Amino acid sequence: MPETEPAVETIPPLTSLTEEEAMLRDTVRQFAQQEIAPRTREMDEAQKLDPGILRQLFELGLMAIEAPLDLGGAGASFFSAVLAVEEISRVDPAVAVIVDVQNTLAVNALLRWGNAEQQRRWIPRMAEKTVCAYALSEAGSGSDAFSLTTQARADGDGFVLNGRKLWISNAMEADLFLVFATVNPEAGYRGITAFLVERGAAGFAVGHKEDKMGIRASSTCELLFDDCRVPAENVVGEVGKGYKIAIETLNEGRIGIAAQMLGLAEGAWSLAVKYSKERKQFGKAIAEFQAVQFTLAEMATQIEAARLLVYNAARMKCADVPFVKEAAIAKLFTSRVAEEVASKAVEIYGGYGFVRDYPMEKFYRDAKIGSIYEGTSNMQLATIGKLILQ
């Protein structure tokens, strides 16, 4: 084995947590139960993240978990970010979106490809109060992510952006946007470049906010660029190398989405177990019926398998060993588990599972997005298939 290749033994046991990881998990779990849970239904109906919740996410150090201490971050690991997303998703997957995108996509991209000045300028703000949205998707470039039409024209000491982005998470809350545009459409993916665009920049606007089926407290908007001038110092990485930033951040981001779906399934299952002990039919709790026990057991088995896949992919990423296939497997599997577990939980709740007074219908609605964003299930299958045949 080459000396530069880390040994597999560097990956800790999947289900064990360090003392620091366990403390973070417990802190986030308590915060989610005490602060997020009472506001979940109101935020879902209002389709808006409570500003107080967002402020607390920053105060708890959850918006720049991997960033080093000298840049204002928590100085923790990617695995810690995954744990935070999982725990918040047990209560409200919509709130987890803003933590996930901020950490696994935005902060990650700046730590890996931003220059020293960009890191000094932006990461302390992202740790303290600034949400950064990740703007790649367009109306005609979803799974075909690099068929971008948003263009960046070199002009003097900067660039001028024109085009439209769609499906951009956290756009209403963001004050900073990592935008992918092409400087040369004829060059295909080799023309794509990443830019930092600030809210309030001339020629830039946040447009229509989508009315979604699930994760409704998480804003999803279009972005409009009309001769939007961006200074050259806001180019992240190299001109024409934005595709590499997009690919590699999304590979890591998929582990975050898998953690979101894992947490959703855990939350739905734990409530279903509790309710099965309370709901009585034919003179006894439905938990005493073997059919219900078998259903809960199947759900628990799927969740445990999903947890191992997510933790394995996260540990591999932290150990700096190839993880792209494992990330795709984790996202594919957990998105399926989340849908199935949420569906079975609705059935255990019976009629109450179908009404908004109880949390199950929200978990069910929230689960569907897992098979769509940051790479559809078909795209994950394509990735897995390609890699296993290499």
Task: Give the pLDDT of the chain (390 residues) as one tens digit per residue.
Answer: 344 444 444 455 566 899 999 999 999 999 999 999 999 999 999 999 999 999 999 999 999 999 999 999 999 999 999 999 999 999 999 999 999 999 999 999 999 999 999 999 999 999 999 999 999 999 988 788 788 999 999 999 999 999 999 999 999 999 999 999 999 999 999 999 999 999 999 999 999 999 999 999 999 999 999 999 999 999 999 999 999 999 999 999 999 999 999 999 999 999 999 999 999 999 999 999 999 999 999 999 999 999 999 999 999 999 999 999 999 999 999 999 999 999 999 999 999 999 999 999 999 999 999 999 999 999 999 999 999 999
DSSP 8-state class, residue 262: H
Catalytic residue among 222, 266, 326, 374: 374
Cα-based torsion angle of the residue sequence 182, 183, 187, 188 in order, rounded to the nearest 10 degrees: 0
The pLDDT of residue 85 is 98
For residue 258 the two structure tokens come to: 């898998």
Residue listed under structure tokens 């960009």: 118
Paired with 134 in beta bridges are 178
What pTM was computed for the model? 0.94
374 included as an active-site residue? yes
Cα 41-56-114 angle, rounded to 5 deg:
115
pLDDT digits (tens, 9 = 90+) for 132-150: 999 999 998 878 878 899 9
The pLDDT of residue 12 is 55
Q: Distance between CA 167 and CA 373 in Å, rounded?
A: 9
Question: Can you state the angle between helices 242-278 and 360-367, rounded to 10 degrees?
Answer: 150
- Using CA atoms, how far residue 297 sits from 22, 140, 280, 346, in Å, is 26, 42, 19, 16
Q: Which H, E and C letters describe 73-126, residue by residue?
A: CCCCCHHHHHHHHHHHHCCCHHHHHHHHHHHHHHHHHHHHHCCHHHHHHHHHHH
User: How many helices and strands (H and E) does the chain possess?
Assistant: 12, 10
The pLDDT of residue 250 is 95
All structural domains of the chain, each given as residue ranges with its CATH number in brackets, are: 8-131 (1.10.540.10), 134-242 (2.40.110.10), 243-388 (1.20.140.10)
Q: Distance between CA 66 and CA 83 in Å, rounded?
A: 12
Cβ(136)–Cβ(112) below 8 Å? no
Question: Can you state the angle between helices 78-89 and 93-100, rounded to 10 degrees?
Answer: 160
Q: Distance between CA 147 and CA 142 in Å, rounded?
A: 9
The pLDDT of residue 360 is 97
For residue 134 the two structure tokens come to: 């990740």
pLDDT digits (tens, 9 = 90+) for 250-267: 999 999 999 999 999 999
pLDDT digits (tens, 9 = 90+) for 3-18: 444 444 445 556 689 9
For residue 183 the two structure tokens come to: 């400087």
Q: Which long-range contacts (CB under 8 A, 24 or more apart) does 357-363 make?
A: 359/40, 359/41, 359/267, 359/268, 359/271, 360/268, 360/271, 360/272, 362/40, 362/41, 362/44, 362/214, 363/93, 363/264, 363/267, 363/268
